[in-house]
């Protein structure tokens, strides 16, 4: 966690330039710079604000060639105005983040970068204060009619990133309700959480059982977003920066074919910022474009964890454990493409020997691990460990006894203590960097180790 205890966070409740990628990116870049001028350290923008959320999702269906042609034109326009990562648009946004000196989380429609694919994804793009791409999160489970527009992300998209103010992660819309995803983010060490939404809604009607998306304001507790944002913050002891999209119908061009048959009213905003106590540092704001800003004392997270620490004294790993899927799966049988093959780096996910988790682009673990051994001794030992353990997915099941330690020390010209220390460091690396996390792993060491 940063030595600077105050994080100035911003939920940017801004409208897209409807179905215009270039203009929307420019508007977002200008907003990032404005936030930087106001001293913001972290900015989060709404779900798929570039170039727009597909509010016309209920219009799917066509009964004749004319209506089919309209749908086709809309599909093409939506795809053509989505963003490639990396690409010219990410360069513009990265330059804005660098100019502003802040970390940015941008909600956008993303064109798949896999050869032959023309799938779109609902994506959060993470940019560091140096303007470089930290990584992305693709929505793992599009909701209801959203599956018409977007594919599903996979385990490689469940990530956290190191930032100047702590470990940052993010989820999109109803993902913030998904219990195991929240647990996974906590296990990965998330400290600040970005949440993106397409608007705001509440529950009304008899027994408050009908989702009301008419833009009518209810008490906050009638909305599942209010529950999701505040409970996420309390449950995981994180700060939650929640950005919701605002867009009025008059911002939609008259020639958009579904303008009059689409409900635009739930694009009403609702951006907010919550503390690890489950309270609002900035309450939801509705009905306008604005920057919702709050100064957050990072020390509050420690105070909250003093009472309820979901990864410490309030855990029961002996009763319940979590297994997180490993990496992404490709089109070939048995293929799990290494993130290093991606056009931009995912820190902490490059494959090393036999699939070992690693930090560097050369596929090696951090220097802090290898430096514990004499020069040239670390990589051979790591390779043998991977053969014995079977990679990070199964390493936590490996059993190493006293004879194993002695054999490893003897064959690699190391002391018993050096081997024990290296293995502990390596297992800690697996915990922190792999997609399989088992907090209660213990090596079976001899009693005198």
Per the annotation, the verdict on 196 as an active-site residue is: no
172 by DSSP, 3-state: which?
strand
Q: Could you count the other beta carbons within 10 Å of the beta carbon of residue 113?
A: 15
Among the listed residues 129, 165, 162, the one whose alpha carbon sits nearest the alpha carbon of residue 7: 165
What does the alpha-carbon distance between residue 350 and residue 352 come to, in Å, rounded to a whole number?
Answer: 6
What is the residue whose two structure tokens read 């579904």? 258
Per the annotation, the verdict on 310 as an active-site residue is: no
Q: Which of 89, 139, 175, 418 is catalytic?
A: 139
> How far is CA 440 from each of CA 183, 227, 318, rounded to the nearest angstrom?
15, 31, 8
Q: Which of 47, 110, 146, 175 is catalytic?
A: 47
What does the alpha-carbon distance between residue 401 and residue 97 come to, in Å, rounded to a whole number?
Answer: 50
What is the residue whose two structure tokens read 């009304």? 204
Q: How many CA atoms lie within 13 A of 160 on its CB side?
A: 23
Question: Strand runs (DSSP E) across 311-420, as ranges?
Answer: 350-351, 357-358
Please say whether the beta carbons of 141 and 175 come within 8 A. yes
Please say whether the beta carbons of 60 and 71 come within 8 A. yes
Helical ranges in 217-338 per DSSP H: 224-236, 299-307
What is the residue whose two structure tokens read 């006293």? 402
Measured in degrees and rounded to the nearest 5, phi and psi for residue 363 equal 80, 15
Q: Which of 10, 173, 196, 310 is catalytic?
A: 173
SS3 breakdown of the chain: % helix, strand, coil, rounded to 5?
Answer: 35, 20, 45
Bin 218: left if φ > 0, else alpha if -120 < ψ < 50, else beta: beta
Give CA torsion, residues 348, 95, 52, 167, to 10 deg. 30
Q: Which tokens sit at 15?
A: 């409208």
Per the annotation, the verdict on 139 as an active-site residue is: yes
What does the alpha-carbon distance between residue 56 and residue 370 come to, in Å, rounded to a whole number?
Answer: 54
50 by DSSP, 3-state: which?
strand
Question: Mind telling me the catalytic residues?
Answer: 47, 139, 173
């Amino acid at each position: 966690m940063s030595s600077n205890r105050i994080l100035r966070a911003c939920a940017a409740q801004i409208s897209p330039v409807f179905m215009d990628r270039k203009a929307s990116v420019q508007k977002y870049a200008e907003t990032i710079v404005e936030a930087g001028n106001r001293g913001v350290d972290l900015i989060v923008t709404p779900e798929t604000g570039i170039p727009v959320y597909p509010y016309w999702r209920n219009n799917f269906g066509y009964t004749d060639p004319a209506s089919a042609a309209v749908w086709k034109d809309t599909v093409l326009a939506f795809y053509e105005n989505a963003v490639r990562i990396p690409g010219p648009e990410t360069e513009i946004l990265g330059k804005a983040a660098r100019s502003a000196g802040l970390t940015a989380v941008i909600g956008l429609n993303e064109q798949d970068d896999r050869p032959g694919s023309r799938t779109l994804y609902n994506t959060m793009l993470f940019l560091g204060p140096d303007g470089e791409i930290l990584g992305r999160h693709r929505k793992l489970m599009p909701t209801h009619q959203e599956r018409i527009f977007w594919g599903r992300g996979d385990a490689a998209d469940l990530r956290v990133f190191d930032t100047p103010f702590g470990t940052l992660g993010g989820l999109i819309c109803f993902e913030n309700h998904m219990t195991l995803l929240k647990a996974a983010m906590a296990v990965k060490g998330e400290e600040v959480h970005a949440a993106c939404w397409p608007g705001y809604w509440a529950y009304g009607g008899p027994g408050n059982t009908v989702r009301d998306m008419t833009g009518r304001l209810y008490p906050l507790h009638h909305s599942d977003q209010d529950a999701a944002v505040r409970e996420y913050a309390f449950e995981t002891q994180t700060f939650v920066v929640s950005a919701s999209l605002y867009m009025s119908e008059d911002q939609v061009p008259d020639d958009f074919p579904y303008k009059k048959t689409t409900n635009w009213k739930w694009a009403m905003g609702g951006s907010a910022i919550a503390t690890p106590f489950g309270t609002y540092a900035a309450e939801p704001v509705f009905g306008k474009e604005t920057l919702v800003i709050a100064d957050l004392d990072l020390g509050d997270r420690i105070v909250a964890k003093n009472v309820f620490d979901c990864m410490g004294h309030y855990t029961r790993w002996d009763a319940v454990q979590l297994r997180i899927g490993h990496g992404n799966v490709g089109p070939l049988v048995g293929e799990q493409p290494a993130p290093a093959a991606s056009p931009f780096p995912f820190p902490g996910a490059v494959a090393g020997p036999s699939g070992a988790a690693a930090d560097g682009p050369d596929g090696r673990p951090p220097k802090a691990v290898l430096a514990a051994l004499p020069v040239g001794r670390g990589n051979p030992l790591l390779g043998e460990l991977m053969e014995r353990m079977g990679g990070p997915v199964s390493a936590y099941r490996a059993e190493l006894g006293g004879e194993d330690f002695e054999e490893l020390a003897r064959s690699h010209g190391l002391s018993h203590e050096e081997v024990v220390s290296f293995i502990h460091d390596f297992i800690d690396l697996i915990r922190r960097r792999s997609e399989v996390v088992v907090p209660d792993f213990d090596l079976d060491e001899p009693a005198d180790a």
